[in-house]
C-alpha cells in the first residue's frame, strides 16, 4: 500500500512540475502547481512528517495558491506570446536543463543512494511532530518567527496600498477611454441661449 501511494504521489509531483513549465496559460499553471504541492504533502506523510505535510497543504497549496489564483485573475490569464522573449531561448533552455539534470544525477548517485541500506539517523520519539515544532517556534525561535510575521504583514499592507493607487479608469476600459478623451470639446459646452424678442413680450 505504501509503495502504491509513493508511486502515485511521485507521478503526481512530476506531472504537476512538468505542467507548471509546459502550460502557457498561467491559470492552468497554478492548478498544476497545486497538484504538485498536494503530491509533495502525500510524500511527506509517507515519511511520517505530519507537520511538514500539514504546512504544505495549509500554507502553500492553500493560502499561497489562492493568492496566485487571485493575481492571475486580476492581471489576466492571457496566453504567452509565441515569440521568444530572449533571443535563442529555445536553444539555451534545453542545454541548461540537461546540465542541471546531469548535476543532480551525479549528486544523487554519488551520495544519496549510498544511504539506502543504512538505518538512518537516530531520532528520539516525537521528533518533528507538530507539538515539538510548535514548542521550538514559540520558545527558542520566537523572535525570528514574529519578525517573519511582521514582514509578511508589511508586504500585505504594501500590496493593498499599491493596488489602491492604481487608476480605476485603466484596464478593460482602456480603449474606450482613449476615444472619449479625444472627443471634441463642443460636446461638453453649454447650448446657446435662446434670442430675446426685440419688442418685448406681447
- Which has the minimum average pLDDT: 2-11, 93-102, 117-126? 117-126
- Extents of the domains making up the chain: 1-79, 130-164
- 1-79 fold: 1.20.120
Task: Tell me the C-alpha distance between 196 and 202, whole Å.
Answer: 12
Assess whether pLDDT exceeds 70 at residue 115.
no
Reading the block at residue 64, the C-alpha cell is 499561497
pLDDT (0 to 100) of residue 42 = 92
Name which of 55, 56, 23 is nearest 38 in CA terms. Answer: 56
Task: Tell me the C-alpha distance between 132 and 125, whole Å.
Answer: 10
Q: What is the pLDDT of residues 141-195, one digit of tens each?
A: 889 888 888 988 888 888 788 777 765 555 544 444 444 444 444 444 555 555 6
Task: Tell me the C-alpha distance between 72 and 32, whole Å.
Answer: 14
Task: Tell me the C-alpha distance between 48 and 128, whole Å.
Answer: 9
Cα distances (angstroms) measured from residue 114 to each of 101, 103, 118 = 19, 17, 8
Name which of 55, 43, 34, 52 is nearest 10 in CA terms. Answer: 43
Task: Tell me the C-alpha distance between 128 and 44, whole Å.
Answer: 12
pLDDT (0 to 100) of residue 155 = 83
Q: What is the pLDDT of residues 21-68, one digit of tens each?
A: 888 888 888 889 889 999 999 998 888 788 888 888 888 877 777 777
- Taking the whole predicted model, whether its pTM rises above 0.75 is answered as no
pLDDT (0 to 100) of residue 85 = 66
94 in Cβ contact with 170 (< 8 Å):
no
Helices (H), 76-173: 89-107, 130-135, 142-164
pLDDT (0 to 100) of residue 15 = 93
Reading the block at residue 53, the C-alpha cell is 505535510
pLDDT (0 to 100) of residue 94 = 86
Identify the burial level of 33 via C-beta atoms within 10 angstroms of its C-beta, where 0-12 means exposed, 13-18 middle and 19 or more buried.
buried
Amino acid at each position: 500500500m505504501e509503495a502504491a501511494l509513493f508511486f502515485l504521489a511521485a507521478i503526481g509531483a512530476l506531472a504537476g512540475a512538468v505542467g507548471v513549465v509546459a502550460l502557457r496559460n498561467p491559470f492552468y499553471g497554478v492548478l498544476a502547481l497545486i497538484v504538485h504541492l498536494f503530491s509533495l504533502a502525500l510524500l511527506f506523510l509517507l515519511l511520517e512528517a505530519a507537520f511538514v505535510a500539514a504546512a504544505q497543504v495549509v500554507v502553500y497549496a492553500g493560502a499561497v495558491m489562492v493568492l496566485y489564483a487571485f493575481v492571475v485573475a486580476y492581471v489576466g490569464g492571457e496566453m504567452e506570446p509565441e515569440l521568444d522573449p530572449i533571443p535563442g531561448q529555445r536553444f539555451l533552455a534545453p542545454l541548461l536543463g540537461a546540465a542541471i539534470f546531469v548535476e543532480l544525477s551525479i549528486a544523487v548517485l554519488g551520495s544519496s543512494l549510498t544511504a539506502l541500506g543504512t538505518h538512518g539517523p537516530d531520532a528520539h520519539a516525537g521528533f518533528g511532530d507538530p507539538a515539538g515544532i510548535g514548542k521550538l517556534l514559540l520558545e527558542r525561535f520566537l523572535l525570528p518567527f514574529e519578525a517573519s510575521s511582521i514582514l509578511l504583514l508589511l508586504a500585505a499592507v504594501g500590496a493593498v496600498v499599491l493596488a489602491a493607487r492604481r487608476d480605476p479608469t485603466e484596464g478593460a476600459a482602456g480603449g474606450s477611454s482613449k476615444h472619449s478623451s479625444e472627443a471634441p470639446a463642443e460636446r461638453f459646452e453649454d447650448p446657446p441661449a435662446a434670442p430675446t424678442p426685440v419688442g418685448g413680450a406681447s
